[in-house]
Amino acid sequence: MSATRSPKVSERVAPKAADPQPQKKKHDDDDGPDFATLFRAWIESHRASLVDSLRRLGKQPIGSFFTCMVMAVALSLPMGLSLLLSNVERLGGSWQRAAQISLYLDLEAKPAEGEALRDQIKGMPGVAEAEYVGRDQALEEFQQQSGLGEALKELPENPLPGVVLVTPTEVDKPALEALRQKLSELPKVQQAQLDLVWVERLAAILKLGDRFVFGLTVLLVSALLLVIGNTIRLHIENRRTEIEVIKLVGGTDSYVRRPFLYMGALYGFGAGILSWGVLAFGLDWLNDAVVGLAGLYGSDFALAGVPVADGLSLLLGAVLLGYIGAWIAVARHLRELAPK
């Protein structure tokens, strides 16, 4: 009886023992798709979101243009003021020349001694340039600038001393004062005068301008975030039913958020391009008047255009502002988009 059952038992056990292959295949299926497949799917999802955002903006070209234009104007104001301040800094001249140290020599000092002193000062540390103005040249310049030429001719002798004009390498008040003290101890130097009032006034004006631009930038950036946030909110409301269906079938928050983030970035990109163009045109238009005014003062000063680095920074900042504004708007309304 046992002999008759053993073949049946062996037949019954054999198929189960000889089934390793299907188990291995099932284990392979549990591993899921590989990294390359997931990465391609991620790229395709982003591409589809970008194309969808471009298509939706293209359906409303006038509204999209005016939204970008409002953002561009808000971006152009602080950037334009910052560029004008940079030009004012350059117009103020060279800070070093504005902070010249005047060395008044003894009346008995001969021109050769003044020139030798000039050459000696040129080799000193902290000195960028030194120029000697003789007594006769100083009197001639004073006659031209003061309008007292005829009266000065009646003087028995020239009352003006020779002067060495020293231009420092940097404008730093303690360093300039130390340099002035050092120069005043040189032979044939009667007085060393340093006038920093003009430099300090210009620095105070520029500092005030920087603070004004910073405050204006903060206000306009806040306004930009409100503009882009309100625009994205309108897009969300128009697609509320579609979004609720997507979430109902298992769409994640990141999947829902992605098209709106691309839309905000596209708004920022368009605003950055328009802002760059507005600044370039505005500075070029203003430059004609500036060149004419500078020519009346015998200067060849002209406004510098928008540097490429500043333009790219403006473009990148506009894209980031659009992205951040869209993120804030979507995050605020994402909880309300859950299916009822």
pLDDT given for residue 8 in this prediction? 46
DSSP string, 173-209: HHHHHHHHHHHHTSTTEEEEEE--HHHHHHHHHHHHH
Work out whether strand 127-133 and strand 163-168 pair parallel, antiparallel, or are unpaired: antiparallel
Closest to 330 (Cα-Cα) out of 272, 266, 224, 254: 254
pLDDT given for residue 275 in this prediction? 92
> CA torsion sign, 243 to 249 to 252 to 258?
negative
pLDDT given for residue 128 in this prediction? 81
pLDDT given for residue 112 in this prediction? 86
CA 164 centroid distance within chain: 41
State how far the Cα of 119 lies from the Cα of 116, in Å rounded to an integer.
Answer: 5
State how far the Cα of 246 lies from the Cα of 252, in Å rounded to an integer.
Answer: 8
Q: Tens-digit pLDDT profile for the chain (340 aa)?
A: 444 444 444 444 444 444 444 444 444 445 567 778 877 878 888 888 888 888 888 888 888 898 899 889 888 888 888 888 888 777 655 455 567 888 888 878 888 888 888 888 888 888 888 888 887 777 777 666 665 555 556 666 666 788 888 888 777 777 888 888 888 888 888 888 887 777 777 778 878 888 888 888 888 888 888 888 888 888 888 888 777 787 788 777 778 888 888 998 999 999 999 999 999 998 889 888 888 887 776 667 788 888 888 889 999 999 999 999 889 888 877 766 655 5
pLDDT given for residue 319 in this prediction? 92
Q: Which residues pair with 194 in a beta bridge?
A: 101
Closest to 334 (Cα-Cα) out of 224, 246, 228, 265: 246
pLDDT given for residue 103 in this prediction? 87
Question: What's the order of all strands across the beta sheet hosting 127-133?
Answer: 127-133, 163-168, 101-105, 189-194
Q: Which domains does the chain have, with CATH numbers?
A: 45-93+201-337 (no CATH), 100-194 (3.30.70.3040)
pLDDT given for residue 18 in this prediction? 44
Calculate the CA dihedral of residues 295, 300, 304, 305 and round it to 10 degrees. Answer: 60
pLDDT given for residue 13 in this prediction? 43
